[in-house]
Amino acid sequence: MLGYLPFLLVLALWIYAFVDCLNTPEEEVRHLPKLAWVVIILFFGEVLVGPVAWLITGKVRQGPAGGPTPSPWHRNTAANWVAPDDNPEFLKSLDKDDPGKG
């Protein structure tokens, strides 16, 4: 089974590069026309030259417009974050949920 792994990895990269090239708008394709990249990926995919060339040089790669997307841990900065035990709204919600208080 492990003997098929290199073949499957090459096939997966080949398919990914081909689909990525087809889905890329013409204005984002660099160095060659889109049709030329499709031909290069198809003819040189078996030896990885075509897909790797496409992934490295064929497409304009840009990050998100506002910069890198922060992780959920970084969305609440220290300036606007309040600990639950210091948050009056949270403490009021605990009082409402407590069946012992009436």
What does the pLDDT read at residue 90?
Answer: 80
Query: Is 53 among the domain residues?
Result: yes
The answer to whether residue 1 is domain-embedded is yes
* Position 86 in a domain: no
Q: Is residue 55 part of a domain?
A: yes
Number of independent structural domains in the chain? 1
Q: Is residue 7 part of a domain?
A: yes
What's the predicted TM-score (pTM) here?
Answer: 0.56
Residue 19 is assigned to a structural domain of this protein:
yes
Distance CA 55, CA 16 (A): 10
71, part of any domain: no
* CB neighbourhood size of 32 (10 A): 15
The per-residue pLDDT string of the chain (102 residues; one tens digit each, 9 = 90 and over) reads 678 888 888 889 999 999 999 998 888 888 889 899 999 988 887 788 888 888 888 877 766 666 666 555 555 555 566 677 777 888 888 877 666 655
Domain that holds residue 54: 1-61
Token digits for 77? Answer: 């900065």
